[in-house]
Amino acid sequence: MRLVVGAALVDDLRRPRRLLAARRSAPPALAGRWELPGGKVEPGETPTAALHRELAEELGVVVELGAEVVGPVEGCWPLTPELRMRVWWARIVTGDAQPLQDHDELRWLQEGEWGAVDWLPGDVALIRHMGSTASQR
């Protein structure tokens, strides 16, 4: 089982309205679908260090992490039989997010429209959960 980390990048950690979605450019089976920026945790790396590294590589940003979006399986969100993801709310503190690596488009989704893009299948339940918790704040 491999651990993936992802960031729910939002405009405001206390009252999230806009969420950043990233469109994958590869591999062909996943290209064109939308995901949270992030990636696999490398051996010897902590999950949050991996997340900061991936966000710098993929988007060119430095972020502040907020609370973890705790998933239903040992705190994780199951993606595939081989992959699980841990997710943190996050806010950009330095930089302007650009699709530098792995993505060909970024989109800030407005409040109430977080489900409006074609998310990877493993993300659908997570995005629905995040939308409902965000709207309760």
Ligand X SMILES: Nc1nc2c([nH]c(=O)n2[C@H]2C[C@H](O)[C@@H](COP(=O)(O)OP(=O)(O)OP(=O)(O)O)O2)c(=O)[nH]1
Query: Residues in the site for ligand X, rule: CB under 6 A?
Result: 4, 6, 30, 35-36, 38-40, 79, 83, 85, 102, 120, 122-123
Shortest distance, position 63 Cβ to ligand X, whole Å: 14
For ligand X, which is the closer residue by CB, 61 or 102? Answer: 102
Position 137, amino acid: R
For ligand X, which is the closer residue by CB, 83 or 106? Answer: 83
For ligand X, which is the closer residue by CB, 25 or 111? Answer: 25
For ligand X, which is the closer residue by CB, 4 or 59? Answer: 4
Shortest distance, position 122 Cβ to ligand X, whole Å: 4
Q: Which residue is nearest to ligand X (CB)?
A: 39
Helix (H, G, I), strand (E, B) or coil at 114: coil
Cα separation, 99 vs 66, whole angstroms:
22
DSSP state of 130: H
Percentages of the chain per state (helix, strand, coil), in multiples of 5: 20, 40, 40
Shortest distance, position 39 Cβ to ligand X, whole Å: 3
Are the C-beta atoms of residues 35 and 86 closer than 8 Å to each other?
A: no
Helix ranges (DSSP H) in the chain: 47-59, 124-135
